Each structure stands twice: as C-alpha cells, then as structure tokens.
Amino acid sequence: MVSDVHSNLEALLEVLGDAGCFDLAICAGDIVGYGPNPSECLRKVVELGFHSVMGNHDYAIVTGDTSGFNPYAVEAIRINRRLLGADEVTRLGGLPTGLSLDLEGVRVHVYHGSPADPINEYVFPEEAEAVAEDYLESLDAGLIILGHTHIPYVVEAEGGFMINPGSVGQPRDGDPRASYMLVEIRGSAVGVEHRRVDYDVDAVASKMRRVGLPEVLAARLYGGW
C-alpha cells in the first residue's frame, strides 16, 4: 500500500524493490505534484496495475483548480502539468475518488482524504483514533486506507484497521525515508507492516532544480517535513 508518491521516481523505485513480490498494489492518491517525474511515476503505477484513487494534486493537474494550495504547491502543479502529456492527464482524470475492493473476503475502502470528503479532508493520527470504529462500521469494511496527510499510522479498532501508509515521495513525519505499508490478509486476519526505505534524495533534489521546482520543495525532502 502506498500513497502520495508525488512524482518522486527514486523513492517509488526503492519502495518497489523493498516490497518484492506482491499480489496487489494500492495507491491512496497523489501520484503527481511536488516532484520532478510525474510522467515516469504515473507510467510505473499503471504498468504495475496499481489500484489508485485520485488525490488533490492529481485533481489539480486535471482541473487546474489549485484552491487551498500554497504558492509552492501551485508552482509544482504548473510544472508537473507541463511535464505530462495530454493522454496522461486524461488518465489521471479517470482515477476514481474512492475504491471498494474485496480482498480474500475482507472489504477494503480506499480514499485520499476521508470517506466523507474523499479528496480534501485531512485525517491526522489523533482523528483517525477517534473515527476509525465509526468509519469501519458505516462502510462495513475490515480495512480503510487513507493518504493525504503524509503522516503514517495504523489504527486497530473494533471491526478492523484504518491505516495511512505515509508518503513515498514527500514524508512529513520527520523521517525523510520513503514510507509505505505491506498488508497481508490471511483468512479474515489482517496484518500490517510499516516500512521505511532510503532513497537518493540528492538525485531527486538536483532533478527538481533542473526543472525549476521551488528550492523549498527540494529542501524539505532532506528533513522529512
């Protein structure tokens, strides 16, 4: 399970290498935005058959609507849009805002933001603790996967798990390593393993400078903020 790849190909490739073989891959949105390789990241996600939902940056690329974005994020959307082909923008536009999958008898729901506001609402760890049980019950789900905050968590509640795998391409929990989660479903038992992976931040930062992305977006990758 990944989320918030944000055009960071080096981080995505390290995560895929670390994950090894998997039966199914899910992305909780924001394949693009912020980083220098939107096209390559989208291609990889499509090629590997990821089940992905739409994030707010994917939505901004497709619609041009950057309301609520800070100026650096807006600039990154403008540059990412320029780096993407029309067919790739169309593909992003086809991403669903939510997904419901049956995995080995476990009902899995995926949203970038929240079940109530799939694209824009932030569910931080404290809120997740408070709402997990209600969401699991109302969706009749055994596993809910969210993204958007770039802060990883695993909440186990009555009825199942609510998780956020953190961000592959722009972690914000103070740890600069790419964040993702492995989920194993056996019988009706769900097991979640949070993993962190080093990647070549220098390579990404220099590519970011080359395509004209704001310096602050490169700097934050080093500190994971």
Interface residues with Zn ion (CB under 5 A)?
A: 4, 30
- Taking the least distance from each CB to Zn ion, the nearer of 30 and 173 is 30
- For Zn ion, the closer of residues 73 and 197 by Cβ is 73
d(CA 169, CA 36): 11
The residue (of 4 and 88) whose beta carbon lies closer to Zn ion is 4
- Shortest gap between Cβ of 188 and Zn ion (angstroms)? 31
User: For residues 198 and 191, what is the distance between their CA atoms, to the nearest angstrom?
Assistant: 23
Residue 37, Cα to own-chain centre: how many angstroms? 15
> CB 29 → Zn ion: shortest distance, Å?
7
Distance separating alpha carbons of residues 53 and 30, to the nearest angstrom: 8
Least separation in angstroms between CB 180 and Zn ion = 14
Contact 40, 5 (CB under 8 A): no
Neighbours of 33 (CB within 10 A): 28
At its nearest, how many Å lie between Zn ion and the CB of residue 150?
6
* 106 versus 164: smaller Cβ distance to Zn ion: 164
Query: Rg of the chain's alpha carbons, rounded to an integer?
Result: 16
